[in-house]
Amino acid sequence: MDVLIAHGGASHREDLKKIVEKYAFNAIEEENALNAVIKAVMLMEDDPEFNAGTGSNMRLDGSIQMDAAVMVPNDFGAVINIEYVKNPVLVARDVMLRSPHMILAGDGVLKFARKLGYEYYDPSTEEAIKRRERVLQKLKNGEIPSYYHPQFLAEFLGDTVGAVARINGEFAAAVSTGGTSLTLRGRVGDSPIIGAGIYCGKKGAVVATGIGEEIMRRMLSFRIYHRIGEKCLEEICREEIEKFGDVPVGVIAISDEDACAISNRSMPYAIVKTQR
Ligand code: ASP
């Protein structure tokens, strides 16, 4: 049985579930796990409803810097703070498959992408511009006293997208994000950090969403992966998420036996299965 889980971000609208499901069904048709998770993430990057690719959040200075990563057992590729490309997840795949490196960042990753033929693309949308204006206004009014302010988190958390799959017994994971709204240029979240926002090995695959700083602090994805086999996967994910208390977080995880999606906020996700 092949399985793919896709999510559209912790703290994002539940009613996007139908769209995430459509993309997941489309993606699971791919011939292998890596292509399937990339396809699921690409479809969400191209949909401005999600904070990845087109529709990405703007930094406080108005720029858009995106992070993305892909992982299969024993290999990893990530891009950090990439600008002006349409699909960061594809560039992350190429870092993994077509460079000797695992992570490329900033102007170096852009040069790499252009060399491979990725064309100039501006991912900004009207909605992203308005969202930044709202953040700046709230900052000016002193309505956002801290990064972890519940009202700020409810309104402005990132909504990263991600997918994990098991196809023909092989695992893969992919993630892509425009980051959170209240961030400085250059900020890096958990998504492109191996073991934090993403992990994949022979036992399964995990992708996280939520406040990147907290997810990194806890190495959430590796922590869950490491515990696979200890008990039911859903219970492991629940236990790890409970440790975040009030901080928004979500995970999707898959193993040989289980597949689950859990968040302490609303999170549109889909778990789809096919028999080949
Ligand atoms: N984890 C992402 C970040 O901190 C944001 C999100 O998942 O909503 O960049």
Mean predicted confidence (pLDDT) in 122-145: 86
Q: Are 208 and 196 in contact (CB under 8 A)?
A: yes
Q: Which residues of the chain form beta strands (DSSP E)?
A: 2-7, 66-72, 75-82, 103-105, 161-167, 170-177, 198-201, 204-210, 249-255, 259-263, 269-274
Most confident region among 66-70, 138-142, 181-185 by mean pLDDT: 66-70
Q: Are 71 and 205 in contact (CB under 8 A)?
A: yes
Mean predicted confidence (pLDDT) in 210-235: 96
Half-sphere exposure of 155 (CA within 13 A, CB side): 14
* Pairing of β 2-7 and β 204-210: unpaired
Q: Are 13 and 266 in contact (CB under 8 A)?
A: yes
Query: Would you place residue 134 in the very low, low, confident or very high pLDDT band (cuts 50, 70, 90)?
Result: confident
- Flag whether pLDDT at 152 surpasses 70: no
Q: Report the alpha-carbon distance of residue 197 to residue 67 in Å, rounded.
A: 11
Edge-to-edge strand ranges of the sheet holding 259-263? 198-201, 204-210, 249-255, 259-263
Q: What is the pLDDT of residue 37?
A: 98
- Flag whether pLDDT at 156 surpasses 70: no
Q: What is the pLDDT of residue 89?
A: 98
Decide whether any atom of ligand 1 lies within 6 Å of the 176 Cβ: no
- Flag whether pLDDT at 1 surpasses 90: yes
Angle between helices 33-45 and 17-27 (to 10 degrees): 140
Share of the chain above pLDDT 90, in %: 79
Q: What is the pLDDT of residue 196?
A: 98
* Residue 276 CA, ligand 1 centroid: distance in Å: 34
- Flag whether pLDDT at 149 surpasses 70: no
Q: What is the pLDDT of residue 14?
A: 80
DSSP category for residue 139: H
Q: What is the pLDDT of residue 148?
A: 62
Active site residue 209: no
Q: What is the pLDDT of residue 143?
A: 77
Instruction: Report CA-CA distances (Å) from 258 to 62, 175, 237, 261.
Output: 41, 20, 11, 10
- Flag whether pLDDT at 188 surpasses 80: yes
Q: What is the pLDDT of residue 151?
A: 61
Q: What is the pLDDT of residue 215?
A: 94
Q: What is the pLDDT of residue 181?
A: 75
- Ligand 1: which of 190, 213, 215, 218 to mutate, most ligand atoms within 8 Å of CB? 190
Q: Which two tokens stand for residue 191?
A: 């998504």
Mean predicted confidence (pLDDT) in 186-198: 96
Q: Which tens digits make up the pLDDT trace of 71-117?
A: 999 999 999 999 999 999 999 999 999 999 999 999 999 999 999 99
- Flag whether pLDDT at 63 surpasses 80: yes
What mean pLDDT, rounded, does the chain reach?
93
Q: What are phi and psi of 208, to 5 degrees?
A: -115, 160
How many residues are recorded in the chain? 276
Classify each residue of 102-134 as buried b or exposed e, where b means 16 or more C-beta atoms within 10 Å of its C-beta. bbbbeeebbebbeeeebeeeebbbeebeebbee
Q: Which tens digits make up the pLDDT trace of 5-36?
A: 999 988 778 889 999 999 999 999 999 999 99
What is the number of the ligand 1 atom nearest to the C-alpha of 209?
Answer: 7
Beta-ladder partners of 170: 167
Q: What are phi and psi of 172, to 5 degrees?
A: -155, 160
Query: Would you place residue 182 in the very low, low, confident or very high pLDDT band (cuts 50, 70, 90)?
Result: confident
Q: What is the pLDDT of residue 161?
A: 96
Q: Of these residues, 160, 180, 183, 209, which one is catalytic?
A: 160
User: Shortest CA distance to 97 belongs to which of 82, 75, 74, 129?
Assistant: 75
Q: Which two tokens stand for residue 87?
A: 């699909």
Whose Cα sits closest to atom 4 in ligand 1?
A: 212
Measured distance between the N- and C-terminal CA atoms of the chain, rounded to whole angstroms? 7
